[in-house]
């Protein structure tokens, strides 16, 4: 829950302000930074008026038990109750409360704010999500029709793959699948949590249906579903029937081949990759070069399963794969030679193969491990040109009949890499670590500063928008880094939107030595913000982990708030491989005192210094060989 919640600020909250906005340029003077605590929240004594920032009027509440509500009463001396519960008001009039979700029969928040004799009331309507069906002991309803699975999804599987049939129905019902005069009874309450169709359907079994004696399920082979069998639920004289999904079979003829990223108009662009995951709902784990041909072995909704080699299947977005004509020849990939080609900034390991191989790269201590799927390797010649020693040597093995593994031993820890396809060769470009002046570690380096959002982003109780709030931090960070000798490239210097995908591309094209993305955090519905707030830093690749730790240390030193630690997390700004990249969530914009802190130039200064000191400490440690 924590892992997921931390990323929410990135994509869930939309900007509430649409009109023109202005922002003050950062002051050249350095405000006093209260190290280790947040700046004081200033007193505001405006006319009493209640404005709720979240949830919106009429919005559906996604939480079951309790949820947060935040906004401002514009007066720090006010008292406030929400649905009769007293709520603390900050000196600037802002508040956040974590309260029981209103009764579905009366879906309202009723707010009463008072200062002296002045009282203001506000009734704020919301929508409460349907609670799950309660089964009566007799009569209908005794089946939750929304829980029937598989229904609706577009599925393709091998004939004997198990498909999980499930439904939530009264424990004393009779439940079975009927197909071709055969009845297959479902089992009551027997199974624990798990996906409904093999491993293939995302979110088919929401947690609320699991672990209950009202859950009925069983597995049946995919071939049963060719014509869509019927699910029956019966109790006494009542019978309900549901047509289940039809499943297409993928193993009846010759293999079907598909080309990844086939529709891409920018296939030659180094930055374009096709992402794949271990399951349809899983995180990105593979990044393939467009034009790679793979076998198609299944489909579930918007996801297509592809085979990388005899032992591994992964899932890609269906829109990322184009099917090849029937009888398309299977790709043949064999490596018979390699060449190691040095350049001033990097070393290329050039591996000629007839076709692009699906691949993965693992970062090790002083090595990169390159796996080439569907590939055989028997190099008779490996040429190390110009006697360069960044790549010390390459050890290869045929790990399986159709899988090659290369361990590339380096003379220093990996700093960055790129996987490319160039004129008939797979190329792994290994970046040289920068030469660092130990006394002035940032001198001569290029740092990309990414003030996060817009589009999207979170908004605080007084209406401060994340995208606006992090921009002055980024501009101040540019000043701090420039003063320490770095060249700074900004992904954004104005309030307007910059596409998420273009930000890592900016960093790669600038040959940045580090990418720092600046964000403020928020939570999804149903999480207690008083327990879950704090500072954290996200990273994706192992070579960015030390940078994440050092920035996190500085954030805690500056702000003195709860240390949520560092997180491996799959976010676009942490995914670049060419440089260490991190995404900082320095404060929670939804918390009134933290929102006030980032409004304050002292808080902006503290955030910028944490990033500058963190990245400087990272390169100082590199200079010292640590
Ligand atoms: Zn964000």
Three-class secondary structure assignment of 221-278: EHHHHCCCCEEEEEECCEEEEEECCCEEECCCCCCEEEEECCCCCCCCCCCCCEEEEC
- In percent, the amount of the chain with pLDDT more than 70 equals 88
Rounded to the nearest whole angstrom, what is the distance from the C-alpha of residue 542 to the centroid of ligand 1? Answer: 22
Segment 357-409, tens digit of pLDDT: 999 999 999 999 999 999 999 988 999 999 999 999 999 999 999 999 999 99
Rounded to the nearest whole angstrom, what is the distance from the C-alpha of residue 414 to the centroid of ligand 1? Answer: 28
Phi, psi of 225 (to 5 degrees): -95, 10
Rounded to the nearest whole angstrom, what is the distance from the C-alpha of residue 32 to the centroid of ligand 1? Answer: 26
What band does 264 get if pLDDT is binned at 50, 70 and 90? low
Segment 165-210, tens digit of pLDDT: 999 988 888 999 998 888 999 998 755 444 433 333 333 333 333 3
What band does 305 get if pLDDT is binned at 50, 70 and 90? very high
pLDDT at 4 over 70: no
Average pLDDT over residues 408-418: 95
Rounded to the nearest whole angstrom, what is the distance from the C-alpha of residue 9 to the centroid of ligand 1? Answer: 4
- Which is nearest to 483 in space by CA: 452, 438, 447? 447
Q: Determine the angle formed by the axes of helices 545-559 and 601-623, rounding to 10 degrees.
A: 140
Segment 418-452, tens digit of pLDDT: 999 998 999 999 999 999 999 999 999 999 999 99
Rounded to the nearest whole angstrom, what is the distance from the C-alpha of residue 459 to the centroid of ligand 1? Answer: 10
- Which is nearest to 322 in space by CA: 296, 300, 302, 298? 296
Segment 503-553, tens digit of pLDDT: 999 999 999 999 999 999 999 888 999 999 999 999 999 999 999 999 999
Average pLDDT over residues 297-324: 95
Mean pLDDT, the chain, integer? 88
Q: Is-contact 392 367, C-beta < 8 A?
A: no
Rounded to the nearest whole angstrom, what is the distance from the C-alpha of residue 522 to the centroid of ligand 1? Answer: 8
Rounded to the nearest whole angstrom, what is the distance from the C-alpha of residue 455 to the centroid of ligand 1? Answer: 10
| Cβ neighbours, 10 Å, residue 406 | 23
Rounded to the nearest whole angstrom, what is the distance from the C-alpha of residue 184 to the centroid of ligand 1? Answer: 49
Rounded to the nearest whole angstrom, what is the distance from the C-alpha of residue 265 to the centroid of ligand 1? Answer: 30
Rounded to the nearest whole angstrom, what is the distance from the C-alpha of residue 54 to the centroid of ligand 1? Answer: 17
Higher-confidence residue of 578 and 190: namely: 578
> In this structure, what token pair is assigned to residue 308?
């990388």
Rounded to the nearest whole angstrom, what is the distance from the C-alpha of residue 584 to the centroid of ligand 1? Answer: 9
Rounded to the nearest whole angstrom, what is the distance from the C-alpha of residue 583 to the centroid of ligand 1? Answer: 9
Rounded to the nearest whole angstrom, what is the distance from the C-alpha of residue 454 to the centroid of ligand 1? Answer: 9
Asked which of 151-155, 223-227, 489-493 is least confident by mean pLDDT, the reply is 151-155
Residues lying with their CB under 5 A of ligand 1, a single-atom ion: 9-10, 452, 519
Rounded to the nearest whole angstrom, what is the distance from the C-alpha of residue 466 to the centroid of ligand 1? Answer: 7
Rounded to the nearest whole angstrom, what is the distance from the C-alpha of residue 473 to the centroid of ligand 1? Answer: 13
> In this structure, what token pair is assigned to residue 573?
């700004």
Rounded to the nearest whole angstrom, what is the distance from the C-alpha of residue 288 to the centroid of ligand 1? Answer: 27
Rounded to the nearest whole angstrom, what is the distance from the C-alpha of residue 13 to the centroid of ligand 1? Answer: 9
pLDDT at 13 over 50: no
Rounded to the nearest whole angstrom, what is the distance from the C-alpha of residue 347 to the centroid of ligand 1? Answer: 35
- Which is nearest to 554 in space by CA: 567, 533, 535, 573? 535
SS3 string, 505-549, reads HHHHHCCCCEEEEEEEECCCCCCCHHHHCCEEEEECCHHHHHHHH
Rounded to the nearest whole angstrom, what is the distance from the C-alpha of residue 2 to the centroid of ligand 1? Answer: 15
Rounded to the nearest whole angstrom, what is the distance from the C-alpha of residue 451 to the centroid of ligand 1? Answer: 9
Rounded to the nearest whole angstrom, what is the distance from the C-alpha of residue 471 to the centroid of ligand 1? Answer: 12
Q: Is-contact 526 597, C-beta < 8 A?
A: no
Rounded to the nearest whole angstrom, what is the distance from the C-alpha of residue 519 to the centroid of ligand 1? Answer: 4
CA 507 to CA 573: how far, in whole Å?
10
Rounded to the nearest whole angstrom, what is the distance from the C-alpha of residue 452 to the centroid of ligand 1? Answer: 6
CA 81 to CA 103: how far, in whole Å?
17
> In this structure, what token pair is assigned to residue 424?
């008939």
């Amino acid at each position: 829950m924590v892992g997921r919640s931390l990323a929410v600020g990135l994509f869930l909250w939309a900007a509430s302000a649409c009109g023109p906005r202005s922002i003050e340029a950062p002051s050249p003077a350095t405000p006093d930074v209260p190290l280790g605590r947040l700046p004081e929240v200033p007193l505001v004594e405006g006319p009493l008026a209640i404005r709720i920032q979240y949830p919106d009027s009429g919005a559906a509440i996604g939480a079951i038990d309790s949820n947060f509500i935040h906004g401002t009463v514009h007066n720090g001396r006010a008292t406030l109750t929400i649905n009769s519960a007293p709520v603390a008001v900050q000196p600037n009039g802002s508040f956040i409360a974590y309260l029981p979700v209103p009764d579905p029969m009366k879906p309202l928040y009723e707010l009463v704010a008072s200062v002296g004799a002045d009282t203001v009331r506000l009734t704020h309507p919301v929508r409460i999500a349907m609670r799950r069906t309660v089964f009566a002991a007799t009569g209908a309803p005794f089946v939750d029709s929304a829980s029937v699975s598989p229904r609706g999804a577009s599925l393709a599987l091998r004939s004997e793959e198990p498909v999980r049939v499930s439904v939530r129905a009264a424990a004393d019902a009779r439940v079975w699948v009927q197909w071709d005069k055969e009845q297959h009874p479902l089992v009551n309450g027997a199974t624990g949590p798990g996906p409904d169709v093999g491993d293939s359907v995302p979110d088919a079994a929401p947690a609320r249906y699991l672990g209950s004696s009202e859950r009925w399920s069983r597995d049946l082979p995919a071939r049963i579903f060719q014509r869509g069998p019927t699910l029956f639920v019966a109790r006494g004289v009542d019978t309900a029937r549901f047509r289940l999904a039809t499943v297409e079979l993928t193993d009846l003829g010759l293999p079907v081949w598909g080309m990844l990223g086939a529709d891409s108009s920018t296939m030659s662009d180094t930055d374009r990759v096709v992402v794949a995951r271990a399951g349809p709902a899983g995180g990105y784990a593979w990044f393939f070069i467009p034009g790679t041909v793979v076998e198609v072995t299944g489909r579930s909704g918007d996801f297509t399963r592809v085979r990388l080699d005899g032992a591994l299947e992964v899932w890609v977005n269906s829109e990322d794969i184009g099917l090849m004509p029937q009888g398309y020849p299977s790709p043949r990939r064999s490596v018979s030679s390699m060449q190691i080609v040095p350049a001033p900034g990097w070393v290329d390991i050039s591996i000629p193969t007839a076709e692009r191989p699906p691949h993965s790269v693992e970062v090790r201590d002083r090595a990169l491990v390159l796996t080439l799927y569907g590939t055989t390797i028997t190099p008779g010649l490996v040429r190390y040109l110009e006697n360069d020693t960044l790549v010390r040597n390459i050890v290869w093995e045929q790990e399986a009949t159709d899988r090659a593994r290369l361990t590339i031993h380096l003379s220093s820890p990996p700093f960055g890499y790129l996987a490319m396809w160039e004129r008939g060769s797979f190329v792994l470009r290994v970046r040289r670590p920068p030469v660092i002046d130990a006394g002035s570690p940032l001198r001569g380096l290029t740092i990309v500063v990414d003030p996060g959002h817009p589009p999207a982003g979170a908004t605080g109780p007084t209406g401060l928008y994340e995208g606006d709030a992090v921009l002055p931090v980024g501009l101040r960070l540019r000043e701090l880094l420039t003063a320490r000798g770095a060249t700074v490239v900004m992904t954004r210097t104005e309030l307007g939107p910059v596409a998420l995908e273009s930000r890592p591309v900016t960093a790669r094209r600038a040959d940045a030595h580090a990418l720092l993305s600046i964000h403020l955090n928020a939570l999804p519905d149903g999480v207690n913000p008083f327990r879950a707030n704090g500072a954290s830093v996200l990273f994706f690749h192992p070579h960015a982990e030390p940078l994440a730790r050092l920035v996190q240390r500085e954030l805690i030193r500056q702000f003195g708030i709860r240390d949520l630690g560092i997180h491996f997390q799959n976010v676009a700004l942490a995914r670049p491989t060419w440089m260490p990249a991190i995404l900082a969530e320095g404060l929670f914009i939804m918390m009134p005192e933290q929102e006030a802190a980032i409004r304050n130039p002292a808080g902006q200064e503290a955030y910028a210094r944490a990033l500058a000191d963190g990245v400087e400490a990272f390169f100082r440690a590199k200079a010292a060989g640590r």
